[in-house]
């Protein structure tokens, strides 16, 4: 049991004038589930990292656990005091396999070697992932990795559990399952949980006070206001009113007996697959089912069996350079896309080789303003928040205007307002330039205007959904 108290905390990143957190005072009560929300770039991640002790505090003692600063807690007890689940699932492990990572964490806590196997089994059982114990961490899907990370926190028996948008790349059923485990940790084991999320669905039963972080200030809403916020937040539903089954549209990419898999593990059983030109296709499916793997295969970054053709020619026979200009991928991790240092340089590169007739300097400026990026043009890309990076990434790839643009979770980590803006821009550009868009998204709201075809991946098979045309 631990109460987390933040005493007048002000935090400014080096070389920035405006503080991210401005004289923040808040108490997260022991054994309660606290939910933190706010716009992207509002300082949620910063606050959680400061609490977790991952970012050094500007003044020691401004965050305490039961009135004790983290630095004063014995090193081997720190992980038992506070632990954090990261936004990016794959970046939180040191070792190769699930079991080894659990061993590593328990060794750090000086757990008697004789007790380690039992603790590992108990933690894996609690989360329900005993079958994953000998798997390689890097081969797990994002959802599975988050489950493993949570199992490690369970094994370490941390009093305070911090979660930074842990469900950003996770499908709704997995999200609900993880949420139930978290609530069980809270109610049955008295853990203090602080979770940052944009998506407010399914929290109404468990959260009394919603904490809103905006402009460096934190407001704790009353129970009535909190419930009103939750009620106003309609859970994401996949509403696709324009979707019909494909008829005789022209085909852009065609797979013949296409099979995808990691080694022995089959993701997509051999099937024929047509992707249609000038349409906006949405691909949905559970985590780790192979959606991103399909995209990597389509841009020749991943292995596949069978044949893939673009406009009738085998993609392996097309010159790499030419093909890369025709079929582009917006990576799930924004940082993979960037090649330069500042926002302005990145945009200049896109305009140099992209569609300059459509994306005139004025239009780009206008889009930057719409995306709230206009004031950040001289900023170093890697110092932008994850939401800002995502928006810049999308703009860069839109300016390139490849004939086929694959979008892997383009709305990941964006707040509601940003999603509306991004979807509006995407829809306009797609209509104006007749682009072929193929999108993977777990974020389901706001897609209706754009999407014309829907591919569902289930049981190793991709099938088109919708009413007959």
Partner 1 sequence: MNPSLKLALVILIALEVSFTQVWTVNVALIIISLILMFVGHVKWKRLLWLTVVPLFFASALVWSLALQGTTTHHFLIVIFTRMFVYVYMGGLFTQTTDPLTLTRSLEQNAKLPSKFAYGFLAAFNLMPKIQAEVATIKAAALMRGQVLHVWSPQLYFKVILAAMNWSDQLAAAMTSHGFVEGAPRTHAITVALRARDWWVFGIGLILVQVGLFIGLP
> Which residues would be at the binding site for partner 1 (CB under 8 A)?
49, 52-54, 75-76, 78-80, 83-84, 86, 88, 91-96, 100-101, 103-113, 116, 152, 156, 299-301, 320-321, 324-325, 328-329, 331, 335-339, 349-350, 352-354, 382, 396-397, 400, 402
Q: Is 459 helix (H, G, I), strand (E, B) or coil?
A: coil
First to last CA, the chain: 59
As measured in angstroms, the least distance from the Cβ of 111 to partner 1 is 6
Helix, strand, coil shares, percent, the chain, to 5? 35, 25, 40
Which of 81, 452 has the CB closer to partner 1? Answer: 81
Contact residues for 59 (Cβ-Cβ < 8 A; gap 6+): 9
Which of 118, 245 has the CB closer to partner 1? Answer: 118
Provide the β-strand partners of residue 162. Answer: 84, 194
| C-alpha distance from residue 126 to each of 55, 99, 153 (Å) | 30, 15, 11
Which of 39, 63 has the CB closer to partner 1? Answer: 63
Which of 14, 113 has the CB closer to partner 1? Answer: 113
As measured in angstroms, the least distance from the Cβ of 416 to partner 1 is 28
DSSP strand pairing (280-284 vs 436-440): parallel
As measured in angstroms, the least distance from the Cβ of 173 to partner 1 is 26
As measured in angstroms, the least distance from the Cβ of 99 to partner 1 is 9
- Of 147, 153, 113, nearest in space to 130 by CA: 147
Which of 230, 295 has the CB closer to partner 1? Answer: 295
Largest Cα–Cα separation, the chain = 69
Helices 116-127 and 142-156 cross at an angle (nearest 10°) of: 130
Which of 240, 437 has the CB closer to partner 1? Answer: 437
Residue 178 phi/psi, 5° resolution? Answer: -65, -40
Which of 172, 302 has the CB closer to partner 1? Answer: 302
199/416 Cα distance (integer angstroms): 9
As measured in angstroms, the least distance from the Cβ of 58 to partner 1 is 18
196/216 Cα distance (integer angstroms): 15
76/68 Cα distance (integer angstroms): 15
Which of 33, 93 has the CB closer to partner 1? Answer: 93
Residue 293 phi/psi, 5° resolution? Answer: -60, -40
Residue identified by tokens 């990576």 is 331
Which of 103, 147 has the CB closer to partner 1? Answer: 103
Q: Are 269 and 276 in contact (CB under 8 A)?
A: no
As measured in angstroms, the least distance from the Cβ of 461 to partner 1 is 27
As measured in angstroms, the least distance from the Cβ of 166 to partner 1 is 13
As measured in angstroms, the least distance from the Cβ of 215 to partner 1 is 26
- DSSP letters spanning 139-196: GS-HHHHHHHHHHHHHHHT-SEEEEESTTTT--HHHHHHHHHHHHHHHHHH--EEEEE
Which of 43, 328 has the CB closer to partner 1? Answer: 328
As measured in angstroms, the least distance from the Cβ of 114 to partner 1 is 10
- Per the document, the length of the chain is 469
As measured in angstroms, the least distance from the Cβ of 143 to partner 1 is 18
């Amino acid at each position: 049991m631990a109460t987390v108290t933040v005493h007048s905390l002000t935090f400014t990143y080096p070389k920035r004038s405006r503080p991210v957190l401005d004289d923040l005072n808040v108490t997260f009560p022991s054994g309660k589930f606290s939910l933190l929300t706010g716009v992207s770039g509002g300082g949620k991640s910063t606050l959680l990292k400061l609490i977790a002790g991952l970012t050094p505090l500007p003044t020691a003692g401004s965050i305490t656990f039961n009135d004790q600063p983290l630095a004063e807690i014995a090193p081997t007890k720190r992980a038992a005091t506070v632990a954090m689940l990261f936004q990016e699932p794959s970046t939180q492990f040191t070792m190769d396999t699930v079991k080894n990572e659990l061993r590593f964490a328990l060794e750090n806590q000086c757990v008697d070697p004789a007790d380690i196997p039992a603790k590992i089994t108990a933690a894996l059982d609690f989360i329900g992932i005993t079958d994953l114990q000998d798997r390689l961490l890097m081969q797990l899907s994002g959802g599975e990795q988050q489950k493993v990370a949570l199992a490690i926190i369970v094994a370490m028996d941390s009093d305070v559990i911090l979660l930074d948008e842990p469900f950003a790349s996770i499908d709704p059923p997995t999200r609900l399952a993880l949420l139930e485990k978290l609530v069980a940790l809270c109610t049955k084991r008295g853990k203090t949980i602080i979770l940052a999320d944009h998506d407010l669905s399914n929290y109404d039963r468990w959260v009394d006070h919603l904490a809103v972080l905006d402009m460096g200030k934190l407001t704790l809403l009353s129970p009535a206001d909190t419930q009103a916020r939750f009620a106003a937040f309609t859970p994401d539903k996949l509403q696709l009113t324009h979707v019909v089954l494909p008829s005789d549209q022209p085909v852009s990419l065609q797979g013949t007996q296409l099979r995808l898999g990691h080694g022995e593990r089959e993701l997509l059983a051999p099937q024929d697959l047509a992707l249609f030109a000038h349409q906006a296709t949405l691909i949905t499916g559970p985590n780790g089912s192979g959606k991103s793997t399909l995209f990597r295969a389509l841009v020749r970054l991943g292995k596949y069996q069978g044949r893939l053709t673009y406009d009738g020619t085998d993609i392996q026979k097309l010159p790499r350079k030419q093909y890369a200009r025709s079929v582009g991928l917006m990576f799930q991790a924004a940082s993979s896309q960037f090649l330069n240092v500042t926002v302005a340089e990145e945009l200049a590169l896109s305009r140099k080789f992209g569609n300059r007739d459509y994306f005139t300097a004025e239009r780009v400026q206008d889009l930057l303003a719409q995306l709230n990026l206009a004031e950040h043009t001289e900023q170093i890309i890697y110092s932008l928040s994850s939401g800002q990076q995502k928006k810049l990434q999308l703009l860069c790839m839109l300016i390139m205007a490849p004939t086929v643009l694959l979008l892997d979770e383009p709305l990941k980590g964006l707040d509601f307002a940003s999603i509306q803006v991004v979807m509006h821009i995407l829809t306009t550009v797609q209509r104006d330039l007749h682009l072929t868009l193929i999108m993977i998204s777990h974020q389901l709201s706001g897609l209706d205007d754009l999407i014309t075809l829907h591919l569902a991946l289930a049981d190793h098979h991709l099938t088109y959904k919708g009413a007959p045309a």
